[in-house]
């Protein structure tokens, strides 16, 4: 039997992007920091988010049935800490500037990229829930680079847009990965 | 409707550790490179791996019912490329030195850390399968730091062990994250 502490020590060596997951709806406004997020398939566009069932907001995410995944940049360490702290929802969202896309879940204005999602399925595994999420909106850090179901015309996304540094958690510390690109004069 | 290409462009900004996933058993020996791996829960120790159902080895992983996750270090770019290429299984495994833990799935000797797993459940989502994997063995890069069900005595893992750089994929390029630590004289 692998001990939980040994598993956590080993998992600390799996580098992962840091994200803030949010929801808003009849069940209220909530947000938390998570690194257990990954892409599942592009057909249909789907990602997954793992969440502790003991988290105070767990049931509210399920009730709202929507969430956003905001991929943090190097400038977001304080925001990451706020959404992983004991702060109230109001005090958490005092960090950062927020907008919305299709579902109404808060979208961080200067996230590297944000995914606006409908929770399509939930798999319970031990203490955690795995939310399978259909992506219905995407927003890049550049305000012009926004897609959602209603407004996307297929022309406003450029992979040559400015790309900031990623905030990555590895070996129980933050790291900054990548570099700012400005390929505007190609 | 979010287009697959837009989803992939956005997902390229979710930094992720690079891993080689292997299996060995009655269905044969196979391995592939994957970044869609994440921790699920420590109770019981569980991780998940997403795999394209169209991959030639997909059914063989299901038949063998076991896999290992080998978290790559900065020195493993060539090995990562080999396991993501059209090379035969034999030519892929010619890269790296391999051992085993409890299940018999190949374990990369100098991976940052390896997880030896039993596939406990499979969820199909669009084109991909999500393997929920119970961790039954852990091996750190230092050969002394190995745990499995049969031999673990609870004393041979140190979080102060040498920790190399992580191989991370972000913005469609490899990056090296972290630094080598030798905290042996604390």
Q: What is the pLDDT of residues B49-81, one digit of tens each?
A: 999 999 999 999 999 999 999 999 999 999 999
Q: Match 């998992």 to its residue by tokens.
A: A11
Q: How far is A51 from chain B (nearest CA, A)?
A: 8
CA distances from A171 to A41, B71, B113, B160 (A): 28, 13, 12, 11
CB contact under 8 A, B125 and A166: no
Nearest to A103 by CA among A22, A44, A34, A46: A22
Please report the pLDDT score of residue B158 as a whole number: 40
Gyration radius (Cα) of chain B, Å: 16
Contacts of A55 (CB under 8 A, 6+ apart): A32
Is B41 in Cβ contact with A126 (below 8 Å)? yes
Distance from CA of A110 to the nearest CA of B (A): 13
> A42 vs B7: CB contact, 8 Å cut-off?
yes
Q: Do the beta carbons of residue A182 and residue A162 sit within 8 Å?
A: yes
Based on C-alpha coordinates, what's the Rg of chain A?
Answer: 16
Two tokens, residue B130: 């999500």
Residues of A in contact with B10 (CB under 8 A): 113, 115, 138, 140
Residues B143, B151 contacting (CB under 8 angstroms): no
A120: pLDDT strictly greater than 80: yes
Tokens for A68?
């956003």
* pLDDT category of residue B169 using cuts at 50, 70 and 90: very high
List, in sequence order, the alpha helices (H) in A34-162.
Answer: 58-64, 77-83, 89-93
Inform me whether the pLDDT recorded for B145 exceeds 80: no
Q: What are phi and psi of A121, to 5 degrees?
A: -155, 150
* Contact between B132 and A123 using a beta-carbon 8 Å cutoff: yes
Other beta carbons less than 10 A from residue A14's beta carbon: 24
Give contacts of B1 with chain A, Cβ < 8 Å.
149
Closest chain B CA to residue A43? B126
d(CA B84, CA B81): 5
Higher pLDDT, residue A163 or A115: A115
The residues near A101 (Cβ < 8 Å, ≥ 6 apart) are A68, A107, A114, A116, A136, A137, A138, A139, A146, A148
pLDDT at A184 over 50: no
Instruction: Find, in chain B, the residue whose alpha carbon is nearest to that of A19.
Output: B14
Least Cα separation, residue A184 to chain B (angstroms): 17
Joined together, the tokens standing for residue A172 give 């129980």
Among residues B135, B133, B138, B134, the alpha carbon closest in space to that of B152 is found at B138
Q: Say what the pLDDT of residue A147 is.
A: 59
- A124 sits in which H/E element: strand A113-125
pLDDT category at A159 given cuts 50, 70, 90 is very low
CB atoms within 10 A of CB B104: 16
Give the predicted TM-score (pTM) of the model: 0.89
C-alpha to C-alpha distances, A180 to A96, A176, A177, B70, nearest whole angstrom = 20, 11, 10, 30
Contact B149, A149 (CB under 8 A): no
From the CA of A35, how many Å to the nearest CA of chain B?
8
Name every chain A residue with its beta carbon within 8 A of the beta carbon of B140: 10, 13
Encoding tokens for residue B6?
């837009």
With the C-alpha atoms ordered B140, B143, B144, B147, is the resulting torsion angle positive or negative? positive
Q: What is the pLDDT of residue A161?
A: 42
Residue A34: predicted pLDDT: 98
Tell the residue number behind the tokens 């699920």, with chain if given: B40
Q: What is the number of CB-based contacts under 8 A between chain A and chain B?
A: 204
Contacts B37 to A, Cβ<8 Å: 14, 38
Q: Mutate which of A125, A133, A136 to disrupt the B interface (most B C-beta within 10 Å)?
A: A125
């Amino acid at each position: 039997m692998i001990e939980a502490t040994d598993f956590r020590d080993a998992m600390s060596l799996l580098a992962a992007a840091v994200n803030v997951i949010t929801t808003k709806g009849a069940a209220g406004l909530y947000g938390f920091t998570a690194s257990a997020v990954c892409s599942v398939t592009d057909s249909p566009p789907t990602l997954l988010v793992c969440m502790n069932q003991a988290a105070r907001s767990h049931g509210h995410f399920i009730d709202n049935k929507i969430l956003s995944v905001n991929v943090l940049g190097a400038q977001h360490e304080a925001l990451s800490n706020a959404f992983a702290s004991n702060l109230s929802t109001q005090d958490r969202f005092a960090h950062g500037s927020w907008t919305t896309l299709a579902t109404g879940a808060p979208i961080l204005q200067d996230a590297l990229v944000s995914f606006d999602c409908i929770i399509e399925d939930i798999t319970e595994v031990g203490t955690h829930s795995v939310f399978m999420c259909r992506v219905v909106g995407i927003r890049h850090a550049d305000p012009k680079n926004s897609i959602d179901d209603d407004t996307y015309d297929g022309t406003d996304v450029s992979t040559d847009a400015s790309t900031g540094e990623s905030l990555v958690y590895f070996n129980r510390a933050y790291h900054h990965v990548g570099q700012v690109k400005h390929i505007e004069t190609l």
